[in-house]
Structure 1
């Protein structure tokens, strides 16, 4: 997600902000712009570049905008589900962009339908729009707060109206969201790498349970719910976020490198060379190599023109993407005992293909080291790991996983090691949600 308030080129800057966060979603993209009187939208299926090749930015004039790149944990591919979603009424319009998952959305949809609402999509985002308008014609801070209080789950929201923008984060702060400044304009993004892309400066994190209103009067903050101990999604640090982003005062690259260091302490192995699976595992591989005293080499090369395989919407597309994306470097791995560092194993198909590729390129041994704990539990907060049956770590022992993927040995980072790598200071409300690894969920359905 990305938003900006108070800049004459709001749409163009939002495009660049989305481009910097393309790694967060590849299925669709959209922008809604306000010129102070009306909201205008452009959205489509596909990557940011492809979607906005067909956009006429001169028709998207305005000084405020919000944008979104779509990563779906559900199999809805229609353009109707591409955000931001735009809602029009006789008393004004409202666009909403959402990152996360509402666990009680089905229950809320039932209540809304019982009251006469007709919902057009299967999106959680539309549920919030109906809740906001449930008890009054006008959209106000109070109506937004009341609606947010009914939600259970992980969520970050951007809400754009003609004359203001609202920003909200769930009480546990599971999803990332930050505020920055670009000259006199306010900017909002899921990741701070978007600020660097457009030349903005980081101001602060959006706090858990906080509702921020941005308008020509400036920035106003209130709470719609009491703040809980922050538990940001550990997978943001492990895989999802760009290494140059800072999340809750922790740099992603530094935390990944520390994961590699802790992994080397916990699970050393006699080998000749260390390599990482591009791109999200490279930082951990460097940390592992430095700690264990082995050379780090580029044993696997990534095709830069292929997107992220984990966030492809189907298993078939994920497997085809791995074939196209990664290639072994024979000159590095041939005749060597290789330590292959990966950030995680979810279904196991990617790891199996990479191990096979390395051995086909002449690697004598391939020892797989995973820079996070085994994923053994579903995620209910917006990551596409919704059932235990698809998780290799939930259904097989470490020895069995080694046999399945063809590795000579497998070891995972411990939960303590992961927390040590990420959490620097709990007194400033740092913390992680690692429920997919431990089964300890910070939020459950009411």
Structure 2
């Protein structure tokens, strides 16, 4: 029996941003606002900022998009400050409530600390249980609060905040890119495998930390370099220094940063995201040649791969869909009838491109299948004579434990059906996926190894032995009154 699937797309990661002011004229709040705006694609559920005004911390965090939370009136009331960190969130752990919004601001005996986190710990439940048994009280279900508590506990016996971060990293397992702010310092830290990106920039004399290079340039800065996997970078009144005691492990940047998550104008660990997606399309053309009249991509992340397929195959590239720019990813569907039309509201085929033609349709991935099936149906209705669906990623077969929101194989179409069954479900004339060997080669110039565990079941570090954590968080979330 052919199953139905609820949703097609993976949700993005979170985005982190931080700025350390050395020039008295710099507006750290405005700079952070522009940086978060550029990182909005990484999370649309909530956002926030924490401002350091000479050691006094001010925070604002709410559910909603950056421009909804940080209106002109709000920005004008925030203190000017000399440091600021920001965050936009999609909930990979914890539920989408205000108490889980970031940054977290902790006030403890050694002074205030603010923390923003992108990633997913695989030992969060164990650490949380240990801390609670020793008297800790948590106010959220996010693993970010677990990290914050671990740092503050280490801070009691350490000589500095950076030493506390270094000692905390000995206890953390999984994916984490952190921005930490103390009264006098701004700190960036990345897990030893480098699952999630993190980079450094300059804005004049001022220092910037961001999840992606696009946020640095959007804020008017210049990209300097990536934070190395395992590296801690400290910005203070004496300049910038690095701690590399956790560097040197086998690395595994999530390959979906190149396939889908990161913005195409970003450079991640030495490789252009736009170029990586074009290369994915070119490899697709070599692995899955098709006789067709036009190549189109599914906006947005499928467009670059479609262009690469066209250039390699010689089949003309066309604009096959118009995307409604005014519909956000948090678009509300009030009833079942309208839910069925969600894809049509967001995407509409351009009949002039596809009518009477054999179409190669390129998308970044096929996860559950429902949206893909609807897109194919729209092309048929617009007059396409053939539809050949190609994915610029391999079959998604296994859970991701490091930040992408797939914690089981239950609803993964490729994990439950053969290629021919998937072709029937999607209603296409042919179906193809980029090979694992192919996807490993797309990020030309990448300085890190790549994690392809969601395709192969082989992860850079040992995955958790159970998924009890998600059940634990759901139980806690029932008791949260936000």
What TM-score, normalized by structure 1, do the two folds share? 0.95
CA distance, structure 1, for counterparts of residue 437 and residue 144 of structure 2:
35
Q: Distance in 1 between matches of 2:449 and 2:380?
A: 39
Q: Any residues of structure 2 matched to 1:3-82 within 5 Å, and which?
A: 3-6=18-21, 8-53=26-71, 55-74=74-93, 76-82=95-101
After TM superposition, the structure 1 = structure 2 runs for residues 12-161 of structure 1, keeping only pairs within 5 Å, are: 12-53=30-71, 55-74=74-93, 76-137=95-156, 140-161=161-182
C-alpha distance 191-379 of structure 1, shift in aligned 2 (>3 A)? same
Deviation at 1:386, TM superposition (A): 1.2
> Contact conserved, 2:154 with 2:168, CA < 8 A, in 1?
no
Query: Match for residue 416 of structure 2?
Result: 395
Match 1:360 to one of 354, 374, 381: 381
Between the aligned partners of 2:332 and 2:103, the Cα distance in structure 1 is 20
Structure 1 residues 419-439: Cα deviation after superposition (integer angstroms, max 9, x where no partner): 1221436xxx43211110111
Q: Structure 2 vs 1, CA of residues 87 and 321 (structure 1 numbering), >3 Å: closer, same or farther?
A: farther
Q: Deviations over 1:302-356 (max 9, x none)?
A: 11112347x999xx89976433211111111111111100010111111111001
Q: SS of the residue aligned with 1:172?
A: coil
Q: How does 1:312-351 map to 2 (within 5 A)?
A: 321-351=342-372
Say if 2:187 and 2:234, in contact at 8 Å, map to a contact too: yes
Tell me how far apart the structure 2 counterparts of residues 358 and 226 of structure 1 sit (CA, whole Å): 49
- TM-score, normalised to structure 2, is 0.88
CA apart distance, 1:59: 2.5
Kept after mapping to 1: 8 A contact 2:29/2:75: no
**d(CA) in 2 for partners of 1:47 and 1:195?**
19
**Distance in 2 of aligned mates of 1:250 and 1:91:** 40
Query: Which has the higher mean CA deviation after the structures are superposed, 325-334 or 227-236?
Result: 227-236
Q: Which has the higher contact order (CA 8 A, sep 6+)?
A: 2
Q: Is the 8 A contact 1:22 1:47 kept in 2?
A: yes
The answer to whether the 8 A contact 1:423-1:432 is kept is no
Contact 1:276–1:340 at 8 Å: present in 2 too? Answer: yes
CA deviation vs aligned residue, 1:16-40 (integer Å, no higher than 9, x gap): 0000111000001101011122111
Contact 1:158–1:168 (Cα < 8 Å) also in 2: yes
Aligned to 1:180: 201
Listed as ranges, the gaps of 5+ residues in structure 1 are none
Any idea what the Cα deviations from partners look like across 1:235-280, whole Å, max 9, x if unmatched? 0000001110000110000010010000000001111111000110
How far apart are 1:110 and its partner, in Å?
Answer: 0.8
Q: Is the 8 A contact 1:423 1:430 kept in 2?
A: no
- For residues 372 and 135 of structure 1, what CA distance do their matches in structure 2 show? 41
Q: Does 1:220 align with 2:238?
A: no
Q: Is the 8 A contact 2:250 2:460 kept in 1?
A: no
Aligned to 2:4: none
CA–CA distance in structure 1, aligned partners of residues 262 and 370 of structure 2: 22
2:320/2:354 contact within 8 Å kept: yes
Partner residue in 1 for 2:13: none
- Relative distance call for 1:37 and 1:111 in structure 2 (3 A) is same
User: Matched residues in 2 for 1:424 and 1:159: separation?
Assistant: 29
Greater displacement, 224-233 / 119-128? 224-233
Q: CA RMSD in A?
A: 1.9
1:219, distance to aligned residue in structure 2 (A): 0.8
Three-state SS of the structure 2 residue aligned to 1:261 is helix
Q: Deviations over 1:83-137 (max 9, x none)?
A: 1011112431111100000000000011101111111111111111111122453
What does residue 240 of structure 1 align with? 261
The alpha-carbon distance between structure 1 residues 312 and 384, as it changes in their structure 2 partners (threshold 3 A), is: farther
Match of 1:258 in 2: 279
Q: Deviations over 1:66-88 (max 9, x none)?
A: 10001112461211111101111
Query: Hey, what's the Cα distance between the residues in 2 that align with 1:398 and 1:135?
Result: 51
Shift of 1:230: 2.6
Mapped partners of 1:172, 1:370: distance in 2: 26
